[in-house]
Structure 1
Amino acid sequence: MISDQDAVRSFAALAQDTRLAIYRQLVEAGPSGLSAGALAEALAVPAPTLSFHLAQLRGAGLITQQRSSRSLIYAVDITRMNGVIAFLSDRCCSGRPELCLPTSAIRTKTDARPRRKTV
């Protein structure tokens, strides 16, 4: 579990549209991450601006940086991301954390029933 201060740093880093877009792009890329050049191209962000925002996300512990040959590869820190999510939901609904599952993870009764073909 992350501390209140760590959570505040994470939320502050994500409370800016470019940084949020970078973070979402890295979440989508998964553990393999993306190079700074690929991020700049995908988001149409100038390199100096991208560097500033990547430094903010790294400072908050949300992403990692690794050198691969001549490129810097950035990836989401999955453990930290899960920690932030757990921080938000650990006291959910008076001890009923299942109510805090994302809607994509919840199967409704109609989803569970087999569907009949219509003619």
Structure 2
Amino acid sequence: MKLKAELETVTLDEPSAVKALAALAQAQRLRIFRALVVAGPDGMTPGVMAEQLASAPSALSFHLKELLHCGLVSSEPRGRHLIYRANIGRMNAVLAYLTEHCCEGRDCGVGVGAAAAC
């Protein structure tokens, strides 16, 4: 199970942050990612996602490929199925990248603390 690696601290460079943000800038991919975050470490199969999100399997496959490519999602075979999970470490890295220089280093109450509670 890859979950432990997904929770490790990840530091993003600008091109990686742009890739992740671009992937999330599409409504259906954002819905898929949010559903996987809600599912937590158990993840979801494509069939369950397609039903829950009322998405055609071919469209879902396309969007999952994009989320896999930027590292926001991982997949793992389980029996005859693939289980997809949100990569919480990568999500936190994107949030950290966006807030790294927030308020010019002053404590303004903005940070990734809420994400760390996942």
**TM-score, L = length of structure 2:** 0.83
| Aligned equivalent of 2:66, options 47, 56, 66 | 56
Q: Which residue of 1 aligns with 2:54?
A: 44
1:85-110 CA-to-partner distances (Å, cap 9, x unmatched) read: 100111111113552147x79xxxxx
CA separation of 1:53 and 1:94: change in aligned 2, threshold 3 A:
same
User: Number of matched residues?
Assistant: 105
Q: Which residue of 1 aligns with 2:8?
A: none
| Aligned equivalent of 1:21, options 19, 31, 36 | 31
| Aligned equivalent of 1:32, options 16, 29, 42 | 42
Distance in 2 (CA, whole Å) between partners of 1:54 and 1:31 is 17
Q: Alignment RMSD, CA only?
A: 1.9
Quick check: 2:102–2:110 contact (8 Å CA) kept in 1? yes
RCO (CA 8 Å, sep 6+): is it higher in 1 or 2? 2
Which amino acid letter does the alignment assign opposite residue 59 of structure 1? Answer: H
Q: Which runs of 5+ in 1 are unaligned?
A: 106-119
Q: Which runs of 5+ in 2 are unaligned?
A: 1-10
Q: Does 1:78 align with 2:104?
A: no
% identity of equivalent residues = 44
Quick check: 1:91–1:97 contact (8 Å CA) kept in 2? no
Deviation at 1:30, TM superposition (A): 0.8
Quick check: 2:96–2:111 contact (8 Å CA) kept in 1? no
